[in-house]
Amino acid sequence: MIKVALKGLLGRKLRSALTAMAIVLGVAMISGTYVLTDTINGSFDSLYKQIYKGTDAFVAARTPLKANQNSLPPSIPESLLAQVRATKDVLVADGGVQSFPVSIIGKNGKVIANGGAPNLGFSVNPRISQFNTLTLVSGSWPGSNQVVIDQGAAKKGGYKAGDVIGILGAGPEQKMRLSGIVRFGTSNGILGATLAGFDLRTAQKVFDKVGKLDYIQAAAKPGVSPDRLAKELRTALPTSVTVKTGQAEAAKQTSDTSAGISIIRDFLLAFAGIALFVGIFVIVNSLSITIAQRTREFATLRTLGASRSQVLGSIIGESLIVGAVASVIGLSLGFGLARFLMWVFGKAGLELPANAMVILPRTIWVSLIVGIIVTLIASIRPALRATRVQPIAAVREGATLPPSRFRRFRTAGSLVLIALGFISLLYGLFANGLTTKQILSAVGVGALLVFIGVALVSARFVGPLARFVSPIGTAAVMALSVLVWPISILIWAIKRAAGNATEFPGVAPDKIMTSLALRNAIRGRERTASTAAALMIGLALVTLVSVFATSLTTSFKGAVDSIFTGDYAITSANSFSPIPISAEKAVAKTPGIEAIASVRLGSALVYKKTSQVTAVEGNASQLFTLKWKNGSQRTLESLGSSGAIVSDSFAKSHHLALHSALSIVTPTGRRLALEVAGIFKPPTGGSPLGDVTISAQRFDSVFQNPLNEFTLVKMRGGQTSANTKALDKALAKFPNAKAETKQQFVDAFISAINQALTILYVLLAFSIVISFFGIVNTLVLTVFERTRELGMLRAIGTTRRQARRMIRHEAVITALIGGTLGIVLGMVFGALLVERVQSLSFSVPDRLPYINFVLTGYPLAVFAIAAVIVGIVAAIFPARRAARLNVLEALQYE
Amino acid sequence: MYWLEYLDLRVASIFSLIRVDSKSVHIRNKSDDEHSYRSGYYRFDAEPTAPPLRIQEGRMSTRDTKKSANQSAVLDGVAVHAVDLRRTYGEGDTAVNALCGVSVDVPNGHLTAVMGPSGSGKSTLMHILAGLDQPTSGTVEIAGTEITTLSDSELTRLRRKHVGFIFQFFNLLPMLTAEENILLPLEVGGRDIDRDWLDEITNKVGLGNRRKHRPSELSGGEQQRVAIARALVLRPTVMFADEPTGNLDSRTSGEILQLLEDMVETYGQTTVMVTHDARAAAIADRVLFLADGSIEREMPRSDPSAVLAAMNELSR
C-alpha cells in the first residue's frame, strides 16, 4: 500500500505540493524562531563568559528588586574598593561604573541609536587587562574628559579618533575628545547597543555617580579558588553588597537575558502555532477534496481486495510522506529565515555579537515532529471517510463519498464547540486569581474552539453569506480593475498592435460568470466554508489587534485631552525612555514659563512585588487634573515626605483608605513608611501616575540617580511658535529630549503603538499566506474536478477571460466570506479583550491603561479589501489553468 | 454601472481602429451579421434580434447567408465546408493518421450522420469540423469563415454564433435549473433572451413543466432534452451531436432521435451527428461511413437495416 501511496503522490505533484505549503511555512516559523533565539542566547552566553573571564569575584549592591530593564542596580560607595584590595587573597581589584542611557551625539546633533537598542556607558581601565573587555581598534584609551566609542557608532556618526564629540549622560550634552574607537571583545556589535567608555573619574562625573561604584571586580592570587575568594570577601564586606564568583555573575546575566529572549521565543512560537492551526484547516480541506475526487480509485482498490485498514493506511501513509517532506523543507527554510532575519537585524544596525547559527537538536526534532503530527491530525478525518467508500462505487458514474456519519450532529456540535470556546475565553479573561499561564491557555483553547466551531457551522450559511458578499466582491473587483485599467489597456493595445487579438479588458462585471461563480461557491459549500475559515482565523486576529490598538490609542487621546492642562510635554526622543532631571532644570529657566512639573519614575518593592512608582512635583496640580475619590488637586502640592497617592483599584485590592499606612522598599533596600494622602480614579486611556506616587523631593532623597518620565510645561500665551522655539532652544543641550505640544505628544504615542503593531501584522501575515495557499489549492482542485464543465462552457462560447473571471469571482467570494467572518469574530474578541482590560480591578500589571472599546471603519475596510486582493491573487494561477484547458481534452476528461 | 459599460465600449471602439489583421475585418463587418455579436466590444451595438429562422417547409437551403466582399467562398446552402482534412497524431514511426484527406460539405438544413467503427476517425472529424481540434492540413469553413487559422478567442466568438453542441454525457451544470442550462449559451455570449423562442423550444423538447428542475432531478432522457434545447437556443448555423444516444437506454434513445429529427424538420436545423448506432444513423438525410480516416461510403436516407448492412460490409 505504501507503494500505492507513493505513486499516488507523484501523480498529484501539484496538489501535494500546495498542500505541503501550509506545513512548510508553519514549520519554518518554528525552526526559524528556535534558531534565531538560540543564536541570540548563545551569543550572549559567550559574551558574558568573555566579560567575566578574568573576574574571580564580583561585588555589587544588594537589591531586593528583581532585575528590571528599566533600572540598573544601585551603586555602592567607592570606599569599598580599598577594603576589597586589602583582603588577603585579592591579587588585583578594580571598580567601575556604568549607566544608561549614555548617548553619543552625532554631527547632526541627534542621538546615535539603532532602533530600540540601548545606549550604554561605562568606565574603562585598560591597565588591568583581565577585566577589560574592550579592544582598541584605533586611537588610544581615554584620558580625563575623553571618550572611546564603538565601531558601529563611529561609523554611523562619521567620527574618527581625535574628533570632538558630544556625550549626553546624566547632565546636559558635554563636548569631549574622542580618543579612540573600540570593539567589544571580538564581536562586531551587541545587538545595536552603542558604547561609550570613559576613565573612572570622567565616567563618575558624566553618570552623576561621583564617589560611587556600580561594581568591583577582583582576581584571586594564584592557587586561590574563586569560591574561596568570594567567601573571604563576603566576610570582609558589609551586608549591603553581594559577592559572587565571576562565573556565577556571568550565568546570572545570561539567564536574565535568556529570560527576556524566551519571552520573545514563546511569542514567536505562538504565532507559528497559529500558522500551523490555519495550516490544519488548509490540509483537512485539500485532503477532503482530493479524497472525494478519488472515490472511484478507493472503490477500485476495495474491489481488488484492499481492506478498509489498507485504504486508511495508504492515505495516512501519503500524509506521513507529505508531512515529513514538508517538515524537512520547512526546517531548512527556517534556517534560511533565521539567517535572513539576522541579516536584516545587521542591516538595521542590530548586529548580533556572533554570527554562527546555533542549531540545537531540539530545534530539529521539535520541528519535524510538530510538522508530521499536524499533518497526521489533519488527515485522520478525511482518511476515515475514505475507508467508508463501498466497492460498488467503482462502477458507478459520478460516485461520491458517503456522507459523514456525524453530519446530523454537525450544527449542534459546532454550536456546542462555539459555546465551550466562549466559556473558556470568558473564564480565561475574567476569572480571578489565574496565573498568566492559565489565562493564556484558557484564552488560547477558547479561541481555538470558537474558530473550529465557526468554521464548521459556517458551512450551513455559505448560501446567504456568499450571496451577501458576492455583490461586494463584484464592486470591489471592479473598483480595483478601474484602478489598474490604464495598465491593462496599455498591455492590451501592445498585444493588439503585435497582431495578437485578445479581448478588450473591460471592467464591467460579467453577470453570468459572477452568477455561475456564486452558484459554484454555494455548491461546494463545505469546501468553500473551510477554505474561508483558514483566512478567517488570520483576519480575526488582525482585526483583534487593530480594534484593540484603536481602542487603546483613542482612549489615550481622550485621557490626555481630559487631564492634560499644560501646553507642552517634554519627553525623550523615543517617547518612552526616561530623561535626566537636568533637562527639566534647563527648561525651567525659559522665559514665559508659568508652571513646570515632572513625573519621576522608578522601581520599588511594593507589597513584595517589584513595581513602578512615580513621584510628582507640587506644581503638577496646575498641569494635570485628576479625578479624586479622596483628596483634591491640592493633595498633589502637599504630599510632604510621607504622603502617597494611590489609585482606587490599588487601594481596593490592598484595602487601603485615606490615612492608611503603606510602605515601599527602594532598590537600595531602604524602607519608606508612607501614609495614603489621596485616592484617585485613573482616567480611561492611561494615567500619568502609577499605583503609588510620592513627592518628588522625597523620591530624589531616597532614589539614586532619579529620572523623569516626562515633564509638563504651561507657558504664557499657550502653544505658540515662539514658545516652541524657546523650549527647543532650552533643550538644545539635551538632544535626547524633545518638547511636544499636546497633539504631538499623543501622535508620538500612537505612532509608537502602531510600530509595535507592524510586528504583529507581519507575524500574522504568515497565517494569511498559508490561507492564501489554501484558496489556491481549493481552486486548483475545483478546476480539476470541473474540467468537463469548463470544457462544455468553453464549447458553448465562454471565452478564456470569462472562464478566468468565473474562477476569480469564486475566489473572491471565498475570501470575502473568510474576511467577513474574521472581521466579525475579531471585533467580538477585541470587545472582550477591551472589556477585560477595563475591568481589571486587581493588581494591575505594568500599569495597563484603562481603555474604551472603539471601532473605526477604516482599518476594517482595508482588511476587507485585502481579503478581496488575496482572493484575486489566489485565483490567478488556477484561473489560468482553467482558461488554458484544451476544450477537446476537457470535454473528454473523466 | 451603465456608464462603465458605456465607457468600456467607447474606449474599445477607439482602440479597435488600430486593429490590423485581416480576419478581424470580417468580424467587424456588420453587413454580414445576422445576429450581431454582443461579445466584448460589440455590446453597444443596437442589438438586432435574430431574424426568424423558422422554416416553413422542406429541407432546402434555408439560411440565407448574406455574403460580403471579404468573405471567401460561401457556397450557397453549405453550412460547413471542409477540404482535404488530414490529422496525424504523433511523429515518425509511431505516427497515426486519424484522417487522411477527408473533404465534406454539410448542406444547410440537413442532418448528416457520421458512422464508422472505433478508431475510424469519426470523432476526430467532428472535432475538427466544430473547431475544437486543428487539422494537420486542410481547411474548414463554417458559414463562410475559414476556422482553422482562427485564434482561440475568435473561435470562441464563432462558436457563440454558429455552433451548437450536444454531448454524450449531457454536460449540464448541476447547480443550474433546466431553463438556466438552456439559456447558458445566450448568457455567456451576452445576448438578449428571446422569451418566445425559449418557450417554444422548451415545449418542443418536452420540458414545459420541468423548467425549474435541476439536472439531478431529471432522467437521462430529460437531461439530453435540456442539452438539445441548449444547443438550439442559439439558432446555430450548425449543431454537432456527439453520440447523443450513447448514454441512454434504447427506448429513450428512440425518443431523443425522434426529437432530433423533428428539430431538423421543423426548424431546418443543420446537424452533424456522430454515432455508431445504426438506428440513429437512420434518421439522417445522409450517412457518411468512415474507415481508417477516409470516407468509404456515402448513403442517402436509409433504414436501420441498410445502415447496419453497410457498416458490416465496412468492418469486413
Distance CA B116, CA B314 (A): 8
Q: What is the pTM of this model?
A: 0.81
Chain A, nearest residue to B161 by Cα:
A797
pLDDT higher than 70, residue B67 = no
> Which residues of chain B does A800 touch, with a Cβ-Cβ cutoff of 8 Å?
152-153, 156
Kindly report, residue by residue over A441-488, the tens digit of the pLDDT. Answer: 999 999 999 999 999 899 889 999 999 999 999 999 999 988 988 888
Contacts of B185 in chain A (CB under 8 A): 796-797
Which residue, of A257, A279, A298, is where some domain finishes?
A: A257
Residue A708 lies in a domain: yes
Residue A791 lies in a domain: yes
Asked if A522's CB is within 8 angstroms of B24's CB, the reply is no
Count of positions (residues) in chain A: 894
Distance from CA of B205 to the nearest CA of A (A): 19
In whole angstroms, what is the distance from residue B206 CA to residue B229 CA? 10
pLDDT at position B24: 35
Say yes or no: A488 and A521 in one domain: yes
Q: pLDDT at position B46, please?
A: 34
Closest CB to A507: pick one of B4, B24, B133. B4
Whether residue A191 sits in one domain with residue A65? yes
The average pLDDT across A374-400 equals: 80
User: pLDDT tens digits, residue range A392-447?
Assistant: 777 666 666 777 667 778 888 899 999 999 999 999 888 877 787 888 899 999 99
Residue A813 placed within a domain:
yes
Q: Rounded to 5 degrees, what angle do the CA atoms A728, A733, A738 make?
A: 40
The alpha-carbon gap from B285 to the nearest alpha carbon of chain A, in Å, equals 25
- Give the residue from B8, B179, B188, B193 with the most A CB atoms within 10 Å of its CB, the best one to mutate: B188
Q: Choose the mutation target among B126, B165, B171 for the interface with A, i.e. most A CBs under 10 Å.
A: B171
- Rounded to an integer, the average pLDDT of B52-63 is 37
CB atoms B8 and A507 under 8 Å: yes
The residue in chain B having the minimum alpha-carbon distance to the alpha carbon of residue A508 is B5
A399 falls within a domain: no
Q: What percent of chain A has pLDDT over 70?
A: 93
Neighboring chain A residues of B176 at a CB cutoff of 8 Å:
516, 519
B-chain residues near A489 (CB < 8 A): 11, 15
DSSP state of B159: H
Do A682 and A782 belong to one domain? no
Chain B environment of A791 (Cβ under 8 Å): 171
Nearest to A300 by CA among A179, A393, A163: A393
Contact B173 A789 (CB under 8 A): yes
Task: Give the pLDDT band of residue A553 (cuts 50, 70, 90).
Answer: confident
Q: Which of A196, A178, A241 is nearest to A100 (CA)?
A: A196
Q: Residue B50 — very low, low, confident or very high, per pLDDT cuts 50/70/90?
A: very low
Cross-chain Cβ contact A478/B5 below 8 Å: no
C-alpha cell, A505: 479588458
Q: Report, as an integer, the average pLDDT of A737-744.
A: 88
Percent of chain B with pLDDT over 70: 76
- Residues from chain A that touch B16, judged by Cβ atoms under 8 A, are 504
Cβ atoms A432, A842 nearer than 8 A: yes
Q: How distant is the Cα of A518 from the closest Cα of chain B, in angstroms?
A: 10
Please report residues of A whose CB lies closer than 8 A to that of B15: 489, 492-493, 496, 504
Same domain, A724 and A608: yes
Asked if the model's pLDDT at residue A851 lies above 80, the reply is: no
The alpha carbon of residue B49 is apart from the nearest alpha carbon of chain A, in Å, by 18
In a domain, A44, yes or no: no
Cell of B231: 444547443
| A652 SS3 class | helix
**Is A340 part of any domain?**
no
Number of domains in chain A: 3
Ranges A180-189, A412-421, B246-255: which has the least confidence? A180-189
pLDDT at A188: 66
Residue B296 contacts residue B310 (beta carbons within 8 Å): no
Instruction: Tell me the pairing of strands A661-665 and A593-606.
Output: antiparallel
**Cα-based distances in Å from A83 to A74, A80, A238:** 19, 5, 10
Mean pLDDT of chain A: 86
**Residue A137, pLDDT above cutoff 50:** yes
For residue B187, give the nearest of A506, A512, A800 by CB distance: A512
Please say which residue of A241, A257, A273 terminates a domain. Answer: A257
pLDDT of B292 higher than 90: no
pLDDT tens digit string along A639-649? 888 899 998 88
Q: Whole-angstrom Cα distance, residue B110 to residue B270? A: 5
Subunit contact A489:B156, Cβ cutoff 8 A: no
For residue A713, give the H/E element and its range: strand A707-715
**B268: distance to nearest CA of chain A, Å?**
20
Chain B residue numbers touching A789 (CB-CB < 8 A): 171, 173
Evaluate whether B115 touches B275 at the Cβ level (below 8 Å). Answer: yes
Residues of A in contact with B184 (CB under 8 A): 512, 793, 796
**Nearest Cβ partner for B152 among A496, A520, A800:** A800
Q: What is the pLDDT of residue A131?
A: 86
Question: Which of A326-335, A741-750, B69-78 has the lowest average pLDDT?
Answer: B69-78
Average pLDDT of chain B is 77
Residue B89: CB atoms within 10 A of its CB come to 11
Distance CA A575, CA A568 (A): 14
CA distance B217 to B230: 17
pLDDT tens sequence across B107-151: 998 999 999 888 888 888 999 999 888 899 999 999 888 998 888
* Whether residues A719 and A772 fall in one domain: no
CA distance B90 to chain A (A): 16
Domains detected in chain B: 78-315 (3.40.50.300)
User: What percentage of residues in chain A have a pLDDT greater than 90?
Assistant: 34
Least confident of A62-71, B87-96, B182-191: A62-71
Query: What's the whole-number mean pLDDT along residues A95-102?
Result: 87
How do residues A300-334 score in pLDDT, each as one tens digit? 888 877 888 888 888 888 888 999 999 999 999 99
Higher pLDDT, A226 or A503: A226
Cβ of B160 within 8 Å of Cβ of A888? The answer is no
Q: Which of B10, B142, B156 to mutate to test the interface with A (most CBs of A within 10 A)?
A: B156
Name beta bridge partners: B301: none
- Model confidence band, residue A837 (pLDDT cutoffs 50, 70, 90): confident
Say yes or no for a CB contact (<8 Å) between A796 and B159.
Answer: yes
Please give the helix or strand (H or E) that residue A602 lies within, else none.
strand A593-606
Q: Is A504–B15 a contact, with Cβ atoms under 8 angstroms apart?
A: yes
Number of neighbours of residue B14 by Cβ within 10 angstroms: 9
The pLDDT of residue A198 is: 95
Indicate if A479 and A502 belong to the same structural domain.
Answer: yes
How many pairs of residues across A and B have Cβ atoms under 8 Å apart?
111
Q: What is the pLDDT of residues A872-891, one digit of tens each?
A: 999 999 999 999 888 888 88
| Beta carbons of A508 and B188 less than 8 Å apart | no
Q: Which residues of B touch A396 (CB under 8 A)?
A: none
Domain range spanning residue A200? 57-257
Q: Please check the confidence at residue B17 and state whether its pLDDT lies above 70.
A: no
CB contact under 8 A, B156 and A799: yes
For residues A127 and A197, state if they share a domain. yes
Say yes or no to pLDDT of B22 above 70.
no
- Report percent pLDDT > 90 for chain B: 31
Q: Is the ipTM of this complex over 0.85?
A: no
Q: Are residues A844 and A709 in the same domain?
A: no
Give me the mean pLDDT over the A798-818 stretch. Answer: 93
Residues of A in contact with B160 (CB under 8 A): 796-797
> Would you call A506 and B12 a contact, using CB atoms and an 8 Å cutoff?
yes
Provide the edge-to-edge strand list for the sheet that holds B294-300.
Answer: B163-166, B238-242, B271-274, B111-115, B286-291, B294-300
| Contact call for B15 and A512, based on CB within 8 A | no
- Contacts A794 to B, Cβ<8 Å: 156
> Do the Cβ atoms of A267 and A756 come closer than 8 Å?
no
Closest chain A CA to residue B5: A508
Among the residue ranges A52-61, A211-220, A687-696, B38-47, the one predicted with the least confidence is B38-47
State the Cα–Cα distance between residues A511 and B191, nearest whole angstrom. Answer: 12
Q: Are residues A790 and A810 in the same domain?
A: yes
Does one domain contain both A722 and A796? no
Express each pLDDT in A809-834 by its tens digit: 999 999 999 999 999 999 999 988 88
Looking at the fold, whether A662 and A765 belong to one and the same domain comes out as: no
Per-residue pLDDT, averaged over A285-314, amounts to 83
Residues of B in contact with A792 (CB under 8 A): 165, 167, 171, 173
- Identity of the residue in B15, B21, B133 whose CB atom sits nearest the CB atom of A888: B133
Secondary structure (DSSP) of A523-589: HTHHHHHHHHHHHHHHHHHHHHHHHHHHHHHHHHHHHHHHHB-SSEEEEETTSSS-EEHHHHHHHHT
Residue B41 to residue A504, Cβ atoms within 8 A = yes
Minimal Cα–Cα distance from A475 to chain B, Å? 10
Q: What is the pLDDT of residue B223?
A: 92
Q: What is the mean pLDDT of residues B262-275?
A: 91
Interface test with B, best of A503, A796, A804, A889 (most B CBs within 10 A): A796
List the single range of A65-79, A252-266, A579-593, A685-699 with lowest mean pLDDT.
A65-79
- pLDDT (average), residues A202-213: 91
Give the model's pLDDT for residue A369.
Answer: 94
Pick from B11, B151, B190: which is nearest to A501 by CB?
B151
Span A837-857, mean pLDDT? Answer: 59
Nearest CA in chain B to A792: B171
In chain A, the residue whose alpha carbon lies closest to the alpha carbon of B150 is: A501
Last residue of a domain, one of A206, A227, A257: A257
Q: How many CA atoms lie within 13 A of A754 on its CB side?
A: 10
Indicate the residue of B153, B184, B190 with minimum beta-carbon distance to A800. Answer: B153
- Residues A799, B153: C-beta atoms closer than 8 Å: yes
d(CA A790, CA A891): 8
Residue A42 — pLDDT band, cuts 50, 70, 90? Answer: confident
User: Where is pLDDT greater, at B311 or A159?
Assistant: A159
**Helix, strand or coil, per DSSP, at residue A639:** coil
Residues in chain A closer than 8 A to B13 (CB atoms):
none
Residues A506 and A545 in one domain: yes
CA angle B60–B267–B295, rounded 5-degree value: 55
Q: Is residue A101 part of a domain?
A: yes
Domain presence at residue A86? yes
Kindly list the residues from chain A whose CB atom is less than 8 angstroms away from the CB atom of residue B232.
none
